[in-house]
Structure 1
Amino acid sequence: MLKKLLLGTIIIVLTLSLSGCELALFDPKGPIGEQAKDLILISTSLLLIVIIPVLFMSIYFPYKFRKGNTKSEYKPHWEHSTKIEIIVWLVPCLIIAALAYVTYVTSHSLDPRKPLGKDEDTLTIQVVALDWKWLFIYPEQQIATVNEIAIPVNKPIEFLITSDTVMNSFFIPRLGSQIYAMAGMENRLNLMASEEGVFRGLSANYSGFGFSGMKFKTHSVSDEAFQQWVDKVKASPKVLDEPTYQALTVKSKDNEVEHFADVDPLHFKKTIEKYTGVQNGQ
């Protein structure tokens, strides 16, 4: 009876916890996402070595040594077991050692600044966090977008990330690795999509009233489809000049996708420098 009750409780809890979840981290679409998933699974598996026995004992021991169980052996003067001491010290030490090794290795292999290919083969996208929207600038293509990007499949992408407002966090769960966007600073994140699709991007750091609508779509497409998308953006009647940009900096919620056919090639650099005093010669 107890086993059936426990099993039913576990099934209900898991069902409720997983209902409506996208589980994007466990369905990666790129090499960085795959490594991040493996890291999560390895870390969780190591922790379960402790968690599962503890959960089992928290139910088994009270049941076995309950007052009404007269068949259990009674040892009122028992106080030491070498076997138990070895287990409770050795197992956690081994787990910590394994986690330390995994952490050291992945700190280098998953370094967000680590290039995924040669510079000439890498597409650069500049990212500016605004209230509450994302501005993307393609310096090589001389275009810009709001809340939408397109990337060629199997092509290394280098995101240069900053903020023109409060600190934020740039995250595309299926591609892996989130990184902070901070005013006056440039962070770098290298990602790659290994298959075509539309992947959700979001802000992973609360930044105010419109935070929930600070989302964007990442279109992973073929080289031909990417060029068609670029041509589509270049056909837009809008350009990202200074008045247009100032309008974008105004706080807005659930901002629509926008395309800009032209942009100042130094816009990203100027956005950073205005917080460092370089523009004013300070």
Structure 2
Amino acid sequence: MATIRFSFVWQILGIAIAVTALCTHAAWASDSFLNPRGPIAEVQRLHLLRATVLIMLAVLPVLVLVPLIAVRYRRRKEGAAAYRPNWDFSSPLEFVMWGIPVLIVAVLSFYLWKATHRLDPYTAPFGETPALNVQVVGLDWKWLFIYPDLGIASVGEMGIPVKQQIAMTLTTDTVMQSFMIPALAGQIYAMPGMTTKLHVVADAPATMQGENTQYNGRGFTKQKFQTLAMQPDAFSDWVDTVRANGIPLTADTYRKLAMRTDRDEVQAALGTSDMPDNALYFTTEGADLFQTILHRYHHGEPLPADQQPGTAEYGQEAQQ
């Protein structure tokens, strides 16, 4: 009987190990910080591995000892376990039970403190060259990337040069959203009328997926984009391509872009034959669109529904 119970325990452990291996393989096979493409994601991966090892020091003994104790001390005749009804305290056992968790929490706190300061999204601790400024606007259901120093913008595609810090300033023109490029850095929230910052850098040329991780309606699953990390010369060519094939990002164009449309719908409305099938290109000479978007929420009064991107009324007069 005991043999059967031990066999069952090992089967459960085997299943748990197999599931963990499959999940780990899936994470490595996708755009994930477990397969980092930049120093920030690499630090995050190492931090997770350290934390996992330390936590398993407390978890593994529980996983192993609980079934063994249950089998050894189960109610049965002629059991080998000692019966001690008056036993209630053991100094060595108390030291192990409380000392190890305290030590684990102390070490984790130390690593967390270091990682929090090193990975501050408002700072640029990686890279020495001046940062490239990118303004990011969350819409329903797409991301708009504005390059104020280059006079271009894009949707569905963000080009960046490798080995150069990218300083992103983020906001939304609709509900709160969560921006993330897993292979480069962790998520950061953005809200209308407010800005937040995120610095990333890529080590080598690669194509990485970015997304919104905050559910915001029917087009949520399509609010993804491609991050194209390129060598500086290739990035310059990409900028020239966007500038040559982009359409002006005027107030009317932005109004169509900001409507409640997913990336495929807005691609059909604004895309041209000179643009990729999954990206829109714009030129932004002159107007400071990002500040206009940001300050529309700073008048102290609620916006009318027909002036608020993300509502059904917004942009309807443009279709009439």
Q: CA deviation at 1:108?
A: 1.0
3-state SS of paired residue (2:208): strand
Structure 2 equivalent of residue 246 of structure 1? 255
**Structure 1 pair 126–118 and aligned structure 2 pair: CA distance change class (3 A):** same
Q: 1:14 aligns with which of 12, 20, 29?
A: 20
**Larger RCO (CA within 8 A; separation ≥ 6):** 1
Q: CA deviation at 1:190?
A: 0.6
For structure 1, which segment, 62-71 or 175-184, has the greater mean C-alpha deviation from structure 2 after superposition?
62-71
What percentage of aligned pairs have identical amino acids? 34
- Output one character per residue of 1:115-148: Cα deviation in whole Å (capped at 9) or x when no partner: 2468962101100000010000001110010111
Structure 2 equivalent of residue 138 of structure 1? 147
Q: CA deviation at 1:267?
A: 0.7
* Distance in structure 1 (CA, Å) of the matches to 2:96 and 2:243: 65
Count of aligned pairs between the two proteins: 279
Structure 2 equivalent of residue 191 of structure 1? 200
Gaps of 5+ in 2: 268-278, 301-320
Q: Does 1:163 align with 2:185?
A: no
Q: Does 1:216 align with 2:225?
A: yes
> In the alignment, residue 9 of structure 1 is paired with which amino acid?
I
User: Is contact 1:113–1:189 with CA below 8 Å preserved after alignment?
Assistant: yes
3-state SS of paired residue (1:45): helix
Q: Does 1:269 align with 2:277?
A: no
Task: Tell me how large the CA RMSD over aligned residues is.
Answer: 2.1
Structure 2 equivalent of residue 58 of structure 1? 66
User: Is contact 2:129–2:164 with CA below 8 Å preserved after alignment?
Assistant: no
* Distance in structure 2 (CA, Å) of the matches to 1:214 and 1:263: 26
Q: 2:50 aligns with which of 34, 42, 55?
A: 42
Q: TM-score, normalised by structure 1?
A: 0.92
Q: 1:179 aligns with which of 184, 188, 196?
A: 188
User: Is contact 1:116–1:191 with CA below 8 Å preserved after alignment?
Assistant: no
Q: Does 1:126 align with 2:138?
A: no
Structure 1 equivalent of residue 312 of structure 2? none
3-state SS of paired residue (1:269): helix
- Output one character per residue of 1:38-72: Cα deviation in whole Å (capped at 9) or x when no partner: 11112222211111111112211101112236122
- Output one character per residue of 1:151-179: Cα deviation in whole Å (capped at 9) or x when no partner: 01111100110000000011000001211
* Distance in structure 1 (CA, Å) of the matches to 2:31 and 2:207: 15
3-state SS of paired residue (1:97): helix
3-state SS of paired residue (1:246): helix
Following superposition, which runs of at least 4 residues in structure 1 exceed 6 angstroms of deviation?
117-120
Q: CA deviation at 1:15?
A: 4.9
3-state SS of paired residue (1:25): coil
Q: 1:83 aligns with which of 92, 116, 139?
A: 92
> In the alignment, residue 284 of structure 2 is paired with which amino acid?
D
- Output one character per residue of 1:188-208: Cα deviation in whole Å (capped at 9) or x when no partner: 101100011100100121122
Q: CA deviation at 1:265?
A: 4.3
User: Is contact 2:37–2:203 with CA below 8 Å preserved after alignment?
Assistant: yes
Gaps of 5+ in 1: none
* Distance in structure 1 (CA, Å) of the matches to 2:263 and 2:47: 33
* Distance in structure 2 (CA, Å) of the matches to 1:74 and 1:233: 79
**Structure 1 pair 23–160 and aligned structure 2 pair: CA distance change class (3 A):** closer
3-state SS of paired residue (1:24): coil
Q: Does 1:32 align with 2:54?
A: no
For structure 1, which segment, 26-35 or 38-47, has the greater mean C-alpha deviation from structure 2 after superposition?
38-47
For structure 1, which segment, 224-233 or 260-269, has the greater mean C-alpha deviation from structure 2 after superposition?
260-269
* Distance in structure 1 (CA, Å) of the matches to 2:35 and 2:82: 50
Q: CA deviation at 1:13?
A: 2.5
